[in-house]
Amino acid sequence: MKQRQLGPYTVSAIGLGCMNLSHAYGAPPAPEVGEALIHRALDLGVTMFDTAALYGFGTNELLVGKALKAHRSEITLCSKGGMAGVSFPDGVKRVINGRPEAIRQNCEDSLARLGTDVIDLYYLHRWDKQVPIEDSVGALSDLVRAGKIREIGLSEVSATTLRKAHAVHPIAAVQTEYSLWTRNPEIAVLKACEELGTTFVAFSPVARGFLCGDLRDVSTLAVNDIRRAMPRFAADTYAANLPLLDAYQAIAREAGCTPAQLGLAWLLHKDNKLIPIPGTQNIRHLEDNIAAADVVLSAEQMQRLEALINPQTVKGPRYNAVNASEVDTEEFA
């Protein structure tokens, strides 16, 4: 496995996003299936594993902690706080809370579930816009000094917010959605990361399955699949985007790779410092994703891909109005 830098850590060029082993994309697999997939990732050379307090309202951290316990010294463990499940009379709900006391409690809870004394990289999952970013990052820096976490990350923030945070404490990583069909990081945050020495981590690098090429009918998505609330996966909008796939798959055949590998290879070629973290519930797909590190694309193929799938050719925003209000990323006009 090729290697890249994640803050002070040398990690696999492709990490593993563990969310969908417990959360978000329909019914999760049985825990033993998720654990087997994580072990297979280790076999393939993956050394960066990404989870969060939110995923499965803690169950993902329990799964990841158990699966990686015997390998803790060999891997870089990443989790997130500031957005977690909170119990209400009518059930557990997602709550964004960036107050220092909430961040401290989230971290303690994550450490217990992960079965570790320290988290290598701990992100603020969402900036709570009711709390100055300096206050939230100040709480995270206290956790660094206390030895609870080693490095600080931010998720779904703008270049302006990143710079404000970095002035309080060095930010090792920014994690945001980035793929051929979600190019928002190119507006400003990628440049800010380069200037500050912050690693960019790309989640949903195969466009939440669109770039895999085999999701043709969104009516087949499970009722609890989060994509059902995303505008690009509305039936009419998705149908309008489907014609992009034919030319895209033709480039994949030309490059001698699968469609998913093409999307990952585009990212790896686009920036030799960023790290994509694809997720999957399927070991065959995992093996396919990791092999993308060896795909070679020409400059001409990169240009054709970017001309084909970009903010002008993709229909629909990535988030609905509620979810868009929760993030701080730059948006195209």
CA distance 263 to 277: 12
Dihedrals phi, psi of 45, to nearest 5 degrees: 100, 5
What the block records as the tokens of 84 is 């977690």
- 210 alpha-carbon distance from chain centroid: 16
- 268 alpha-carbon distance from chain centroid: 15
33 burial type by CB count under 10 A (0-12 exposed, 13-18 middle, 19+ buried):
middle
CA distance 244 to 315: 11
Instruction: Provide DSSP, 105-146.
Output: HHHHHHHHHHT-S-EEEEEESS--TTS-HHHHHHHHHHHHHT
Known catalytic residues?
55
CA distance 51 to 42: 15
Range 145-184 burial, b when 16+ CB lie within 10 A, else e: eeebbbbbbbbbbbbebbebbbebbbbbbbbbbbbbbbbb
Dihedrals phi, psi of 61, to nearest 5 degrees: -65, -40
Length of the chain: 333
- Strand pairing report for 149-155 and 83-88: unpaired
